[in-house]
Amino acid sequence: MRFSSHLLFFSLLAIQGGLAFPSYGTLAGLSRAELDTVLPTLQRGVLEPPPGPLKDTRAKLVNDKSHPWKPAGKNDIRGPCPGLNTLASHGWLPRDGVATPAQIVNAVQEGFNMGNGLAIFVTYAAHLVDGNLVTNLLSIGGKTSKTGPNPPAPATVGGLNTHAVFEGDASTTRADFFFGDNHSFYETLFNQLTAFSNKFGAGFYNLSVAAEFRFQRIQDSIATNPQFGFSSPRYFTAYAESVFPVAFFIDGRDTSGQLDMKVARGFFQNSRFPDGFFRSGISTTSTVIGAGIDFIFSKHPIPPGGNNGAVNSYTPDPNSADLSQLCKLYTDFVNNTIRGLYPNAKGVLLAALNKNLDFFYSPLAGSDCPQVPAFV
Ligand code: HEM
Ligand SMILES: *[C@@H]1O[C@H](CO)[C@@H](O)[C@H](O)[C@H]1NC(C)=O
Ligand SMILES: *[C@@H]1O[C@H](CO)[C@@H](O)[C@H](O)[C@H]1NC(C)=O
Ligand SMILES: CC(=O)N[C@H]1CO[C@H](CO)[C@@H](O)[C@@H]1O
């Protein structure tokens, strides 16, 4: 809730100060009056359907001549996701860090061989909470920094840094929101990760290391962050993100499941593929990630929950989906998270919202999880 009051404050400042509302600024959480001011200034995007799967899912060179690494320029946005940061820094995504959801789906498929259903589900989840549904643009970061937009955009205009909906606590290499900066690469945490890789992976990151480090990050947040939140959807993304480096950051010609820590640093810190990098030769579906999550969870089972305003007060949340409840993850995300972010949607915004909810649901079509009815 803290986040939405900041959002209102900064967007009001932006509007009253005559700053243009950024095309990628999220409309989530705006009041009816704010929407009435902002919507007429926005250019409507084409809400094209999500791309289909790759035709050829073999491993291939992705650090190629047409996708060289370049450092982010001063107006280029980067955020909490090393996967998307890397795709932007190699030009698989627009280098400025602002993209349509379809561009993101294409890029994660082409650059990392993420499976179509998983790519759609994650991308549209992020777009629904952090993107601009009317312009059809999402930023992969969104927070002003020393290297951010000039003149500075409002500090909270959506993008993947927005706390508590998609971005969350107990990240692998990023500090919790409670401690201030929540998206920058954090050397101290990377050094801890390296120590765990030495101790449990003979110098490499693998699923055994992931299990120990996920547990360590949770214990650390419980002990130090009075506002530690670890309910769905963050509960799911935290576990999934512990598997992602094994699934995506290892060269596709190497099937050992062991990630070199120098390679890991390149992705996490520098948004950079190693020279000659081949993407994975496995189309990584939610089933593949689910198997990794089960492995990690089974070593140190922790229920979804959070601290109660004091450190060391972790309490399970009986209302949160757990890892076995994918349908509840989806339903609660739509009925609680999304509905709460757009209480005032009508007209163009309502239509765009429902269209994106259809896209988000599409990987679940044909499963035994029914679609939540359209918003009215
Ligand atoms: C499909 C679209 C994707 C979206 C919208 C997305 C979004 C995000 C967000 C918001 C976070 C921050 C969560 C947090 O720690 O608070 C994150 C973290 C992460 N993402 Fe992505 N991601 C996507 C795809 C990928 C891909 C393809 C990879 C790997 C190639 C990847 C790897 C990671 C990793 C390893 C983290 C954890 C970073 C850390 O905790 O230090 N993501 N992602
Ligand atoms: C991780 O590496 C360690 C050390 O080599 C090894 O004992 C363990 O089996 C590996 N785990 C996985 C899941 O590959
Ligand atoms: C979600 O909300 C809709 C509309 O209020 C309602 O019809 C539906 O039963 C809810 N679904 C669940 C599973 O709570
Ligand atoms: C408060 C806090 O932990 N902030 C850190 C976030 O990450 C940056 C970049 O590494 C650090 O400089 C901050 O100290």
Nearest atom within ligand 3 for CA of residue 372? 1
d(CA 38, CA 51) in angstroms, rounded, equals: 29
Ligand 3 atom having least distance to the Cα of 334? 1
- Between the CA of 206 and the centroid of ligand 2 the distance, in Å, is 6
Round the average pLDDT of the chain to a whole number and report it.
91
Substitution candidate for ligand 3 out of 337, 372, 375 with most atoms within 8 A of CB: 372
Residue nearest to atom 8 of ligand 3 (CA): 372
Q: Domain count for the chain, please give it.
A: 1
CATH number at residue 286: 1.10.489.10
Question: In what side-by-side order are the strands of the sheet with 305-306?
Answer: 229-230, 305-306, 315-316
Establish whether residue 372 lines the binding site of ligand 3, counting it when its CB lies within 6 angstroms of any ligand atom: yes
Q: Per the domain annotation, does 214 fall within a domain?
A: yes
**Residue 373 domain flag:** no
**Model confidence over 42-93: pLDDT tens digits?**
999 999 999 999 999 999 999 999 999 999 999 999 999 999 999 999 999 9
- pLDDT bin (cut points 50, 70, 90) of residue 177 is confident
Would you say the CB of residue 321 lies under 6 angstroms from ligand 1? no
Measured between its terminal Cα atoms, the distance across the chain in Å is 24
Does residue 372 form part of some domain? no
Indicate whether 369 belongs to any domain.
no
| Number of the ligand closest to the Cα of 174 | 1
Q: Is the CB of 181 under 6 A from ligand 4?
A: yes
Asked if the structure places residue 370 within a domain, the reply is no
Closest atom, ligand 4, to C-alpha of 185: 10
Average pLDDT value for residue range 360-365: 98
Question: Could you tell me the two tokens for 268?
Answer: 């996490």
Contact residues for 74 (Cβ-Cβ < 8 A; gap 6+):
147, 148, 150
Where in the sequence is the domain holding 135, given as residue range(s)?
4-364
| pLDDT for position 19 | 67
Asked whether the predicted pLDDT for residue 136 surpasses 70, the reply is yes
Instruction: Pull the structure tokens for residue 152.
Output: 């500075």
CB 130 within 8 A of CB 162: yes
Torsion of CA 74, 78, 82, 88, to 10 degrees: -70
Does residue 23 form part of some domain? yes
CA of 224 to the centre of ligand 4 (A): 15
pLDDT at 289 over 50: yes
Ligand nearest to the CA of 199: 2
Q: What's the full length of the chain, in residues?
A: 376
- For residue 92, the ligand closest to its alpha carbon is 1
The per-residue pLDDT for range 1-31, each reduced to its tens digit, is: 334 444 555 555 555 555 689 999 999 999 9
Q: For residue 156, is pLDDT > 80?
A: no
Answer whether 87 contacts ligand 1 (Cβ < 6 A): no
pTM for the model stands at 0.91
Residue nearest to ligand 3 atom 13, measured at CA: 331
pLDDT band at 178 (very low <50, low <70, confident <90, very high): confident
Q: Does the pLDDT value for residue 146 go beyond 70? A: no
Tens-place pLDDT, residues 205-220: 999 999 999 999 999 9
d(CA 57, CA 72): 29
pLDDT level of residue 152 (50, 70, 90 thresholds): very low
Residue 146: CB partners within 8 Å, gap ≥ 6? none
Binding site membership of 335 for ligand 3 (Cβ less than 6 Å):
yes
> Which ligand gives the minimal distance to the CA of 198?
2
pLDDT of residue 162: 63
Distance 294 CA to ligand 3 centre (A): 29
pLDDT digits (tens, 9 = 90+) for 187-209: 999 999 999 999 999 999 999 99
Averaged pLDDT for residues 134-151: 63
Residue 325 domain-assigned (yes or no): yes
Q: Are 375 and 345 in contact (CB under 8 A)?
A: yes
pLDDT score recorded for residue 182:
64
pLDDT value of residue 154: 36
Q: pLDDT-derived band of residue 153, with 50, 70 and 90 as boundaries?
A: very low
Alpha-carbon distances, residue 313 vs 92, 169, 225, 300, 316 (angstroms) = 43, 15, 10, 18, 10
> Using a 6 Å cutoff on CB, does residue 258 contact ligand 3?
no
